[in-house]
Amino acid sequence: MKFYDCVTAPSPPRVRIFLLRRVLPWRPYRLICGTANNSPRALNPDCMVPVLELDSGAAITDIIAICRYFEELHPDPPLMGRSAEEKAVTESWLRRIEWDGIYAAQEAFRNATPGLKGRALPGPVSLEQIPALAKRGCIRLQHFFAWLDARLTDNEFVCRPHFTIADISGMVAVDFSAWAKLKPPEHLGHLQRWYKDVSTRPRAKA
């Protein structure tokens, strides 16, 4: 099993943090780490990392799908839920965080960064930056910070009484927002408390 990774991209930490939370008896993959160009096009036509290449030859080309693969094989601790209800509720929150947080940060960052001209979306298609979309991303991130703070008012973690993949993704969304020069406002105390908690735990950075 080979894991194609890239240490300079904003999204692969979601998988790395996920894997660090598992106590595996061995590291079940060979790590192939470098630039985004090291993902063989034959494995992932989208030319993106991370990619997990299984011994069967199958390629898992999506961050959450890679996490699900390891969760299915090594379900402790459960970071994606254990029962049908837990799995579904966790996925609901995860996807909301991706949509409102990670994709919004991507809008804000990729449409305003000079080095990404013609690269407004990741993947093989060259797309021009749209300045109005960078502004929209910033607006969306402010709403994301506000609802996440509200959610965390009476909840220690995003969706369950314990740390899940939704917390990992929320933390990465906040970190990604900083790439777009946006941080959660200081007055959002619940979000600040949660971020400090989840980001300073052992194995929270990867």
Residue 76 CB, nearest approach to a second copy (Å): 15
Q: What type of residue sits at position 116? A: L
Listed ranges 20-28, 31-39, 132-140, 171-179: which one lies at the site for a second copy (CB under 8 A): 132-140
127 binds a second copy (CB under 8 A): yes
Residue 116 CB, nearest approach to a second copy (Å): 15
Number of residues that bind a second copy (CB under 8 A): 42
CA-nearest of 94, 61, 68, 78 to 21 is: 78
Q: x/- binding map, residues 46-65, to a second copy, per CB under 8 A?
A: x-----x-x-x-xxxxx-xx
Partners of 4 in the beta sheet?
32, 51
Selected binder of a second copy within 7, 33, 88, 178 (CB under 8 A): 88
The end-to-end CA distance of the chain, in Å, is 20
Residue written as token pair 């917390």: 167
Listed ranges 14-22, 90-98, 180-188, 198-206: which one lies at the site for a second copy (CB under 8 A): 90-98
Q: What type of residue sits at position 80? A: M
Nearer to a second copy, 62 or 156 (CB): 62
What residues make contact with a second copy under the rule CB under 8 A? 45-46, 52, 54, 56, 58-62, 64-66, 68-69, 72-73, 83-85, 87-89, 91-92, 95-96, 100, 120-121, 123, 125, 127-128, 130, 132-133, 136, 139-140, 143, 147
